Chains A and B, each alone.
Chain A
Amino acid sequence: MSWAITGTGMVTSVGSDVARSFASFVMGRSGNAPLRGFDGRLFRTERAYEIADRHRGRDRVGRATAWLLAAVEEALRGAELPADGKRIAVLIGTGLRELRSVELWWTGGDRFRLDRLHFAGAVERGTGARTAGTLPRPITLCNACSASLFALGLGSDLLALGEADAVVVGGVDALTESMYGLLDRVSFSPPDAVRPFDRQRSGVLLGEGAAAVVLEPATAAHTRGATVLATLRGVGLNCDAYHPTAPDPAGMAAAMRNAHRRAGVDPGEIDLLVVHGTGTVLNDNAEAHAIGEVFGSAGPDAFVTALKSMTGHTSGASGLVGLVTAVECLARGIVPPTPGLREPEPVAETFRFVTDVAKSAALQMAQVNAFGFGGVNAVAVVEAA
């Protein structure tokens, strides 16, 4: 079974939609900037990859919801789903929900209401999507940094079971003071940039973003004459059951194998690997080991790129940001670079990283990785249309 991706949407620190974000990625443009949303005197870390949408720098409630709606609307616009009583499921993956709004309400007295903490109401109001019936109302799935790829996997399950005719999958995260602060607290020396897989990498910086896709059974999309952007072949999901925050290469490798099995592909068929690559010593080393285990010690034939070098770590949105980007790469035959990657980490020495400038290449199959706190691993395989 495979699923047609008929619409995509994306908002990042370097672009307000898919086309603008992807154009920035191809140019190697980074959203890295001095911290804008919080009082810089409270943190050692000085930089982040924020979306510049605050009026006079003042933070406000509901930013994550606004980007999510923008991404979902872009995806729905592209998909042109017929409005004839289809059963449409909506799954939103997020690491930090609207917790930034909760912080502003709790510490600063901004107005906030309980039902704004999750995204069901906003998505229903914003899109006019009627999801009532035999499907849940829009689900808010809080699966840390792999949330939106988990949502994608569950969405494909609902289609495979015939419970939904189409699925809208979204992902979103905004910086929270608590998470930014805790990462600052545990950082030995706060980084000035995210340098995925680089020998000199010194850690993660948070970013902001949202992404969305519309997914339909391939046959249904074909029948209604929809433009298919790419085909989702399969999503592997598992849990390390190992450590609260540290990754486990064995769990990551198992998720990749699970994805390949579900997609019915061999590792050798993957042409593009969009890695999780957070720029922490631990993640990138564990991910490199896992890739080596699955693709063989010589490393994958695939080109490898790490978007967090330009977007920062967009937490729960990052998996779907990777997937929407992979769809563009497959359609256009371009791999964005990983700026800041000079000398790869020893375990990844043989990987074919695209570093300084974008690479043109014929691409058929891409793999997207996302791993989160708690050892929640999600890996998607997507094929050119």
Chain B
Amino acid sequence: MSGTDVVITGYGIELPALPAAAAELADRLGVDDLRVRHTVQNGAFAPALVLGRQGLKYKDRATKLSLCVASHALNDAGLPTAAAELAAAVDPFTVGVVGSSNFGNLDTVCRVADEIHAGGTSEISPMDLPNASSNVPAATVATWFGLRAVNLMLCSGATSGLDAMYMASTAIRSGRADIMVVVGVEVPSGPADRLIAEFAAGTPDVPAITDGAASVIVESVVSARSRRAPIRARLGSYGSGSSLTEGLTGLDDLTRERPTLWLTPAVRGAADAEAVRAAAATFPAGTPAVDVSALLGEWYGALGVAQCGLAAATLAAGRAGTAVVSCGPAWGDGSASLVLSAELARDRLPA
């Protein structure tokens, strides 16, 4: 990617239904204190604990997860989470949002269609109108935190999370924003579960959809330095293709840097395992490879965002190295990969 350097200054992961995930991920990545949260009360997701009680009524689960995780990530990047304080810290017209989700509002759409069939439109709630629009997570994050620059929602299948990272970087390098809040979210539901089950029919196991959200704060290096933010990693090149190996060939940084970590696509079944083995041959022998999906389940459009947060945390902890993150091919979609590097993290400012 050309132009301005773009860095990751914060991340957060919200997994209300996976209480052990933080410890498992910390163990696999060798990093303590990962920003993985479980915002639960009496066993249920309780976003009010993070966001307060006001304004959450009628918001769908994907949106509440998105708000919650964006709050975690802003906080991690050293930014205020109250809209007024955030506006005082950074110009709201320079902060944008990219959301990524495929399943976010499937439940609302199918339920409303069912209700209409059962009794006409007098049976449906007008409060479902905003949630019928697929961009509700990205738009609501903007409204909640007062972020007035470019606002995007990607629903681009298995590579959607990494594509969102790419578009966030593009928005910054094009001068449309200095800071982009990237949010990936997926939620299980009747229709989402059935789409996955039907696609996977005939294969040994049908994965469960991960219920949760991941967020990464992406920022121009100039902005990060001017506000003395922690720089965790620099975004490098992006590549895509119909196969994993083809996507990896787009990564020109790899000809210069030996990766110290590879976050692989989800490995399900022999074909995936073989594709990962074949792709691993393009990396130096001994490059550690971690399948985040094996720990967290099928995170589809949110996976790439979560991987970038985790890779950045790992690079920042080690203060060196280059990580590659890969999503797909999966669910009929191709593959994408992104390089993150710690080269700018080395000169990060003391807290």
Which of A115-123, A322-330, A337-345 is found at the contact surface with chain B? A115-123
Contacts of B132 in A (CB 8 A): 176, 178-179, 182
Mask, B121-150, CB within 8 Å of A = 1, is: 110111011101111101110110111111
Partner of A102, one of B93, B106, B246: B106
> In whole angstroms, how far apart are the Cα atoms of A143 and B100 in the complex?
11
Q: Does B171 contact A (CB under 8 A)?
A: yes
Contact at A137–B117, with CB atoms within 8 Å?
Answer: no
Give the residue of B126, B139, B156, B167 whose beta carbon is less than 8 angstroms from that of A182.
B126
The residue of chain A having its C-beta at the shortest distance from the C-beta of B149 within the complex is A238
B92 touches A241 (CB 8 A): yes
Chain B nearest CB, measured from A373 CB (Å): 4
A141 within 8 A of partner (CB): yes
Closest partner residue, chain A, to B239 (CB atom): A134
Distance of A215 Cα from B275 Cα, bound (Å): 35
Task: Please pick, from B106, B150, B195, B238, the residue contacting A237 in the complex, using a CB distance under 8 A.
Answer: B150
Which A residues are CB-close (under 8 A) to B155?
97, 117-118, 140-142
**Chain A 85-103: CB-based contact to B (< 8 A → 1; otherwise 0):** 0000000000111010011
Q: List the count of A-B residue pairs having beta carbons below 8 Å apart.
A: 252
Q: Does B250 contact A (CB under 8 A)?
A: yes
**A179 to chain B: which residues have CB within 8 Å?**
132-133
A42-B120, A102-B110, A137-B333 known; A120 vs B156 contact (CB < 8 Å):
yes
Interface flags for B303-347 (1: CB within 8 Å of A; 0: not) read 000000000000000000000000000011110100000000000
- For chain A, what secondary structure do more than half of its interface residues adopt (helix, strand, loop), or is it mixed? mixed
Q: Is the CB of A96 within 8 A of B120?
A: no
Q: List 22 A-B contacts (CB under 8 A).
A: A41-B120, A44-B121, A106-B191, A114-B331, A121-B333, A134-B252, A136-B162, A136-B238, A138-B156, A142-B154, A147-B135, A154-B171, A161-B1, A161-B2, A163-B1, A177-B112, A178-B116, A181-B121, A238-B148, A245-B130, A372-B133, A376-B151
Q: Which positions in A face B, CB cutoff 8 Å?
A: 41-44, 95-97, 99, 102-103, 106-107, 112-115, 117-118, 120-121, 131-144, 147, 150, 153-154, 157-158, 160-163, 176-179, 181-186, 237-245, 251, 254, 372-376
The 5 closest A-B pairs by CB, nearest first: A374-B139, A115-B332, A239-B151, A132-B241, A244-B130
Taking Cβ atoms with an 8 Å cutoff, the residues of B that contact A are 1-3, 92-93, 96-97, 102, 106, 108-110, 112-114, 116-117, 120-122, 124-126, 128-130, 132-136, 138-140, 142-143, 145-157, 159-160, 162-163, 166-167, 170-171, 173-174, 176, 191, 194-196, 198-199, 237-242, 246-247, 250, 252, 331-334, 336
